[in-house]
């Protein structure tokens, strides 16, 4: 296995062209927060693509290199009291390129969306040895095809992102989180649904279990935060929840612990995506199945967006059966169930993606257009499952 670490976009393109000419497969690697051990013949690291954060504070936009970590980028943007409002796991390691490739996000997706919602321009290196740019440096840019959004979530299988331009947000002056605890997991889903109907604007509505808690975060002026928190707390108390409010360091610790429930170590992580109105039913089904299969689980998720992340532990065979049953439950509701990480034996048994969708022919055609020799990250796309 050969590792290359190009310094710029031209170097990345040259490395890809050389690999393609020799029929070598290339695995693209950033901070390694979302991938297993590399298995390609060439590992292309973006770790040296870190030079030059171009921040235009007056326009609330910045162009950032793919190898820079999210934490480094936001430290730089924070000097002007601005930030890129993404909060995927492990921001100190997660690179901009990796975040784009996986379209990764965290609890604040509720308010700010995913990288696909914030990206407005991109620079990429192609396997034919060329570089390309799309989009622009202003928010209202409609020139050309929207390659920026196409590359978000492509898992590095179409091209290598070398830099990207994002729209930014001001750093909020105050933050506070309401933590509401209920007695069972179904009531947790129902409470989450009730909170989404309250006329407030939280940056996150996040569920976790066990214990069965809802975390509702507000980030704006202190007066507005306190007013909105009071409205949500009244709804939670009315529905029998026990409530606490945290801010400052205790709030930061609470959110760090929340992330760590799933992402502090390796293991099986299943992502369920359903309608927000189905979350309570899916949580109840999860409770029933884990008890039947004797599988331990921890849950977090974007309650108002219908995204539930489940960490499983226990017998691998039981985990596989559980994943298959949850996949049937989710797809039966028009949703999906994707294994974000799992032991290789489990991935072989049940697959990462589940059954192919009707979009598969189009996905294969796009892949062939960008990477006809299947040089980049072979085996990671749904079209290859």
What pLDDT, on a 0 to 100 scale, did the predictor assign at position 345? 92
Residue whose C-alpha is closest to residue 108's, from 189, 169, 35: 169
CB under 8 A, 24+ apart: contacts of 35-44: 36/341, 38/1, 39/379, 40/1, 40/377, 40/378, 41/1, 41/2, 42/1, 42/2, 42/3, 42/4, 42/15, 43/1, 43/2, 43/3, 43/4, 44/3, 44/4, 44/6, 44/12, 44/15, 44/16, 44/160
What domains does the chain contain, in order, with CATH numbers? 2-170 (3.30.465.10), 174-255 (3.30.70.610), 265-350 (3.30.70.260)
Residue 217 has pLDDT above 90, yes or no: yes
What tens digit of pLDDT does each residue of 19-42 get? 999 999 999 998 877 765 556 789
Confidence of residue 321 (pLDDT cuts 50, 70, 90): very high
What tens digit of pLDDT does each residue of 264-290 get? 777 899 999 999 999 999 999 999 999
Residue 378 has pLDDT above 90, yes or no: no
Q: Considering the chain, what is the average pLDDT of its residues?
A: 91
Confidence of residue 119 (pLDDT cuts 50, 70, 90): very high
What pLDDT, on a 0 to 100 scale, did the predictor assign at position 263? 86
Highest mean pLDDT among 38-42, 186-190, 243-247, 359-363: 243-247
Q: Which residue has the higher pLDDT, 166 or 140?
A: 166
Over range 137-150, report the average pLDDT: 68
Confidence of residue 151 (pLDDT cuts 50, 70, 90): very high
């Amino acid at each position: 296995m050969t590792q290359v670490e190009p310094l710029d976009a031209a170097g990345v393109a040259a490395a890809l062209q050389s690999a393609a000419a020799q029929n070598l497969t290339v695995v693209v690697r950033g901070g390694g927060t979302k991938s297993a051990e590399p298995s390609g013949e060439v590992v292309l690291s973006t770790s040296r693509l870190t030079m030059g954060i171009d921040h235009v504070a007056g326009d609330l936009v910045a162009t950032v290199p793919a190898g820079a970590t999210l934490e480094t980028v936001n430290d730089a943007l924070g000097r002007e009291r601005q930030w890129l409002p993404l909060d995927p796991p492990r921001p100190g390691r997660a690179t901009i390129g990796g975040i784009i490739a996986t379209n990764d996000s965290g609890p604040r997706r509720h308010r700010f969306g995913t990288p696909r919602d914030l990206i407005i321009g991109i620079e990429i290196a192609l396997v034919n040895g060329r570089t390309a740019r799309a989009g622009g440096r202003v928010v209202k840019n409609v020139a050309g095809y929207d390659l920026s959004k196409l590359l978000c979530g492509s898992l590095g299988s179409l091209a290598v992102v070398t830099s990207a331009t994002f729209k930014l947000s001001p750093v909020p002056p105050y933050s506070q989180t309401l933590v509401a605890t209920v007695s069972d997991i179904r009531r947790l889903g129902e409470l989450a649904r009730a909170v989404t109907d309250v006329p407030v604007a939280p940056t996150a509505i996040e569920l976790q279990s066990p214990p069965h808690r809802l975390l509702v975060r507000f980030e704006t002026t202190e007066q507005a935060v306190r007013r909105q928190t009071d409205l949500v707390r009244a709804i939670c108390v009315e529905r029998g929840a026990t409530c606490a409010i945290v801010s400052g360091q205790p709030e930061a610790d609470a959110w760090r612990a929340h992330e760590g429930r799933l992402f502090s170590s390796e293991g099986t992580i299943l992502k369920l995506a359903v309608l927000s109105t189905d979350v309570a039913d899916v949580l109840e089904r999860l409770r029933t199945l884990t008890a039947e299969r004797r599988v331990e689980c921890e849950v977090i998720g974007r309650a108002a967006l219908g995204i539930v992340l489940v960490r499983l532990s226990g017998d691998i065979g039981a985990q596989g059966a559980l994943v298959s049953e949850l996949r049937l439950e989710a797809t039966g509701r028009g949703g999906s169930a994707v294994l974000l990480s799992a032991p290789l034996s489990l991935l072989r048994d049940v697959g990462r993606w589940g059954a192919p969708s009707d979009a598969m022919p189009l996905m294969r055609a796009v892949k062939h257009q960008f990477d006809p020799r299947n040089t980049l990250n072979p085996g990671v796309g749904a079209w290859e499952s």
